[in-house]
Structure 1
Amino acid sequence: MVVMYPQTVIDSARQYEMLRVTSGYRGDHVRALWILPAVVIAGPTLAQTPGIPVNEYGEEQYGGDYLPTTSANLGEYYIGSPNAGVAVPDALLTLPQSVFPRTSTLALPADRQTLPNLTPFSVPLRKDFALGAGFNGGFSGRKKMASSGANASSDAIMYVHYVDVGQGAGAILEFPCGVALIDVGGEWANDGVDGEIMFKNYLDTFFETRPYLDNTIDVVFLSHPHADHANGAALLLPEAGGTYTIKNVVDNGLEGSRGMLGKQTKFHKTAAELGAGYTGVTVGAQVTATGVTNANIDPLACKGVDPIITAFWGGRPELANSGQYTNPNNHSVVVRVDFGRASFLFVGDLEDKGVVDLLDQYSTNPGVFDADVYLVSHHGADQETTDQMLAAVTPRIAVLSMGTADSPDGFKYGHPRITTLDALQQAPAVVSNDFPGGPVTVLASPSAKSVFESYELTKEIYGTGWGGTIVMQATSGGVYSVGSTSAR
């Protein structure tokens, strides 16, 4: 069976369609369409700041006098304990990572190997390693002891709304006890697609139909400071008419006074002034290969099934002026979400160099990235979704957040690439679920940009540029379905 994903074009501007494709594992397809008002914006694809380097697509790059600094208040990291990879001893979970001194040359002596053997470290430790009183419970500050979720009941439900923001990314994670955002859209194009307005419209409707959430966002994650992921953050603040209570902000710990760095900095500082907690996730401050967490990264404490949120990777300011790290994409915060037996992985816009280095940094524990639902890196761009990354993730379902083939931005970027879809569907590492109901024909690009052709999906892969907003339901027993959700 071949099913064409629908595209709705009204006049010369695309209206914002929130198409929820319901599939289930029996192959039934039910579609419900929400139409929100179109917002037509004239002007350039990106609002470029004079003096800031950009690449061929107009995306900001680091270089010259446009370089990030590290936030002076990154926050304290605690050892992550996601439901994958090596299990960390409970006795270590209350210890801040700062108690593990690091070095680039020395390792623990043979008679002090007990703890490192229990915990996978991503950097060598000094010979003067000492836990001191902390090992006996002298440290505090971690929100909770993470539980494995192995015995979680199977009837608890969460939703992930992969919002159609055009060429960009923005997701709403809806838990039984709260809400998290991972990126907020923001790029705009001459066809009237304004990602930040699209995200805000959807978020407003989301809260209007869920009054019991009281317009409260427990945590906002910004993966990296590029317009298509972070521009929408400004609209969440009261000064722009935002009516939300933001409890926590997490980004990659990089700051600046201009461009998107300046916008990211202003957002987390303004939110902090209004009472929000803040954590900046940088690679250099991490010690264990199990990721990091704290009360800002994982502020949720649901009864019954408690979500576990873990952060990885993030800013590498020491490399921002060299090689592929001049691209902010490679400084993306990676976020893993566990809900009982269900699991989701968000990797921002990590490009090939960032992916290689991420897997190298976590080489002692690659299973920590094993997740059921994978938001494909960088909108499905070429070379970022490698066999090595897929072997670590082993996704059952993949999701892409990208523009449509007929929009200026989606067209010029050529997302997704056929090479990426091939990697997701062909051996050695593939998405394991077949597409419910049979193959689906979509549009994908065989080349760098501006060319699209028909492509057959046989695996369970969804894209916002093919069908609009994707709403995925997950039970705590690890059962997934794609479709609409209403206030409960």
Structure 2
Amino acid sequence: MLIDAGNNEDSSSVKNYISNQGITKLDYVIGTHPHEDHIGGMDYIINSFKIGKIYMPKATANTKTFRDVVSAIKGKGLKVMAPVVGQTFKVGNATATILAPNSSGYEDLNNFSIVIRLTFGSNSFMFDGDVVDVSENEMLSKGLNISADVLKVGHHGSSSSTTQAFLNKVNPKYAVISCGKNNSYGHPHKSTMNKLKSKGIKVYRTDENGTIVATSDGNNITFNTKSGSYNYAGIGSSASSNSSASSGSSKTRNVPVVVPKSSNNSKIVYYTPSGKSYHFDKNCSTLSRSKTILTGTLREVLSSSHNDHCNVCAEGN
């Protein structure tokens, strides 16, 4: 099973890694949601391997990346399966259960993310895609079993994800954060790292540890690298436009949550009253469901609760 395939530029790296494991067929391919950093390499992967079933949420994006994936799927005569919460399927001797999405009318495309809980023996793993607090709260309210030994932290460690209630319910021993070194989003954010630290959860992060491999024998889980730090690069939704993270021995550069060129801070962007993202394009497909669209400068939104920029209309910016 492959969950997501990185950015477009990661295509060959993902393909080579899979090939080096001696894998020629992927029984299951999961595209958690239509953002480029999750499905960018998926068309290349689909064209490079034998594919069993493909799961993607009922969400679209008006981007070349999304169209390329759809074309690759059609080109192989495959059909996309929509996720159904509670559905299970076997991955070898492990069992995968779909836990989200639980709704169909999200404003934030991240909430459409497919969430998979994988169990093997007495071990369990949660793969959260980019879910933010809305989807997390739905899983909690439905009383779904989200406990896990390993949590793949939602949305790259953003402050918009990993609520305290959700983390308490998962109660993992280990957390894995996928984020780029010196990334311009400031991931992972302070609030998320502080929550993980306060619970003594060992953190493995790609910006510090590189490729992370967790191996389970059904009873014990081992990692190929030492755990990383609790350092953070940005402070997320509580950030101001000129704030910076604390200094320390982190291998990640200390940066604000978003680092646009200062000359662009007066640029007009768009957002919704309840949305956490801002948009460069007023006609962005993810805004089409919103009745109320507000405008402001980039400087203003970076000091507000709407400071996660949209991945869809950010592709061209």
* TMscore range, shorter length: 0.5 to 0.7
Number of the residue aligned with 1:482: 223
Deviations 1:19-59 (A, max 9, x none): xxxxxxxxxxxxxxxxxxxxxxxxxxxxxxxxxxxxxxxxx
Q: 1:356 Cα deviation (Å)? A: 2.2
Is 2:18 the counterpart of 1:203?
yes
Q: 1:385 Cα deviation (Å)? A: 1.1
Aligned equivalent of 1:326, options 90, 103, 107: 107
CA contact (8 A) 2:43 2:73 kept: no
Q: 1:314 Cα deviation (Å)? A: 2.6
CA contact (8 A) 1:219 1:299 kept: no
Number of the residue aligned with 1:85: none
Query: What is the TM-score with the length of structure 2 in the denominator?
Result: 0.65
Aligned equivalent of 1:229, options 38, 42, 45: 38
Provide the rounded CA distance (Å) in 1 between the counterparts of 2:31 and 2:189.
Answer: 25
Deviations 1:434-472 (A, max 9, x none): xxxxxxxxxxxxxxxxxxxxxxxxx41100111100111
Is 2:202 the counterpart of 1:415?
no
Higher relative contact order (CA 8 A, sep 6+): 1
Distance 1:423 1:267, change over 3 A: farther
Deviations 1:81-119 (A, max 9, x none): xxxxxxxxxxxxxxxxxxxxxxxxxxxxxxxxxxxxxxx
Query: What is the TM-score with the length of structure 1 in the denominator?
Result: 0.43
Deviations 1:398-419 (A, max 9, x none): 00001002xxxx1x10011121
Number of the residue aligned with 2:55: 250
Q: 1:292 Cα deviation (Å)? A: 1.6
How big is the alpha-carbon RMSD for the aligned residues of Structure 1 and Structure 2?
2.2
Provide the rounded CA distance (Å) in 2 between the counterparts of 1:237 and 1:315.
Answer: 27
Number of the residue aligned with 1:151: none
CA contact (8 A) 1:247 1:277 kept: no
Gaps of 5+ in 2: 226-317
Q: 1:327 Cα deviation (Å)? A: 2.2
**Aligned AA for 1:280?**
A
Is 2:292 the counterpart of 1:292?
no
CA contact (8 A) 1:221 1:249 kept: yes
Provide the rounded CA distance (Å) in 2 between the counterparts of 1:256 and 1:467.
Answer: 32
Provide the rounded CA distance (Å) in 2 between the counterparts of 1:315 and 1:228.
Answer: 22
Percent of matched pairs sharing the same residue = 28
CA contact (8 A) 1:281 1:315 kept: no
Is 2:7 the counterpart of 1:186?
yes
Q: 1:264 Cα deviation (Å)? A: 4.3
**Aligned AA for 1:292?**
Q
Distance 1:270 1:253, change over 3 A: farther
Deviations 1:194-225 (A, max 9, x none): 3333222322323xxx2xx4x11111111101
Q: 1:235 Cα deviation (Å)? A: 0.6
Provide the rounded CA distance (Å) in 2 between the counterparts of 1:181 and 1:370.
Answer: 21
**Aligned AA for 1:381?**
S
CA contact (8 A) 2:5 2:41 kept: yes
Provide the rounded CA distance (Å) in 2 between the counterparts of 1:203 and 1:331.
Answer: 26
Number of the residue aligned with 1:471: 213
**Aligned AA for 1:349?**
D
Q: 1:383 Cα deviation (Å)? A: 3.4
Q: 1:228 Cα deviation (Å)? A: 0.5
**Aligned AA for 2:153?**
V
CA contact (8 A) 2:102 2:139 kept: no
Q: 1:260 Cα deviation (Å)? A: 4.4
Give the match's secondary structure for 1:310: strand
Provide the rounded CA distance (Å) in 2 between the counterparts of 1:372 and 1:399.
Answer: 11
Count, aligned residues: 225
Provide the rounded CA distance (Å) in 2 between the counterparts of 1:257 and 1:425.
Answer: 39
Number of the residue aligned with 1:216: 25
Gaps of 5+ in 1: 1-179, 188-193, 320-324, 432-458
Provide the rounded CA distance (Å) in 2 between the counterparts of 1:228 and 1:470.
Answer: 18
Q: Which has the larger radius of gyration?
A: 1
Distance 1:299 1:338, change over 3 A: closer
Number of the residue aligned with 1:71: none
Provide the rounded CA distance (Å) in 1 between the counterparts of 2:61 and 2:102.
Answer: 13
Deviations 1:134-168 (A, max 9, x none): xxxxxxxxxxxxxxxxxxxxxxxxxxxxxxxxxxx
Distance 1:255 1:267, change over 3 A: farther
Is 2:149 the counterpart of 1:354?
no
Aligned equivalent of 2:83, options 281, 299, 319: 281
CA contact (8 A) 2:154 2:161 kept: yes
Provide the rounded CA distance (Å) in 2 between the counterparts of 1:231 and 1:379.
Answer: 16
Provide the rounded CA distance (Å) in 2 between the counterparts of 1:346 and 1:384.
Answer: 13
Provide the rounded CA distance (Å) in 1 between the counterparts of 2:83 and 2:205.
Answer: 28
Q: How does 1:93-242 map to 2 (within 5 A)?
A: 180-186=1-7, 194-206=9-21, 210=22, 213=23, 215-238=24-47, 242=48
Q: 1:278 Cα deviation (Å)? A: 4.0
CA contact (8 A) 1:218 1:246 kept: yes
